[in-house]
Amino acid sequence: MIASSKAMGVADTIGPNDLIKGNTKVNSVFVAAIFNTKHGLQQLTQEEFEAAGLIDDDREGSREERAFRLWINSMQIENCFIENLFEEIRDGLVILRVCHRIDNASVDWTKPNMTPKNMFHTNHNCDLAEAAMRSLGVRMVGVGSQDIRDGQKKNILAMVWQLMRVHYLKIIGSKTEQDLINWINTSVAPATPIANFSDP
């Protein structure tokens, strides 16, 4: 099966031992790689692209915003479907729901105001969102709850990127970043080795 998937052009994301272990997360990554390579869907027409609002990448941060929005929506969190990340994140509840999906011990749901009616409720939710992100290991240097409340695009993108990174590292499991770098360097053609995720 793995040889057949490689013949179709699927990236080498899994080995026979990984498949036999039955790790649902690893297998989900493998199935996603197959779908991305051979999805069997027809190409969208120009009209379909425009109707879906997919030609919108000329604004600052719009590609990243769309990628993070799609990531959040792909988690299928109840009462959390995002159409505009920068606006819908401002009450703090979206971040709290995402943090809870990543680690259900990161949010105490007795504390947030689920229907914030004023700035004080919103500030409280954003403070809880910052605390939840810190508990997951997100580095909050130069960014914080006020950026969430104010819809600061650059800082929101930085925070959500770190959340997505935490989520994917949790899916990958016990592998370290160096393990992944070594795996990538041995899997791809020996061109230029990847140095480190934190390198500029």
Parts of the chain with a pLDDT under 70: 12-13, 41, 43-46, 48-61, 174, 189-200
Q: 57-172: CATH homologous superfamily?
A: Calponin-like domain (1.10.418.10)
pLDDT of residue 58: 40
- Residue 100 is predicted with a pLDDT of 95
Burial of residue 173, with CB atoms counted within 10 A of its CB: 0-12 exposed, 13-18 middle, 19 or more buried:
exposed
Kindly state the percentage of the chain with pLDDT values over 70: 82
Q: Is the dihedral of CA 69, 181, 13, 192 positive or negative?
A: positive
User: What residue spans define the domains of the chain?
Assistant: 2-41, 57-172
Express each pLDDT in 108-133 by its tens digit.
Answer: 999 999 999 999 999 999 999 999 99
N-term to C-term CA, the chain: 38
3-state class (DSSP) for residue 187: helix
Tell me which long-range contacts 121-127 makes (C-beta under 8 A, separation of at least 24): 122/90, 122/91, 122/92, 122/149, 123/149, 124/92, 125/91, 125/92, 125/93, 125/96, 126/90, 126/91, 126/92, 126/95, 127/92
pLDDT of 53 reads 53
Give the orientation angle of helix 24-37 with respect to helix 153-172, to 10 degrees: 120
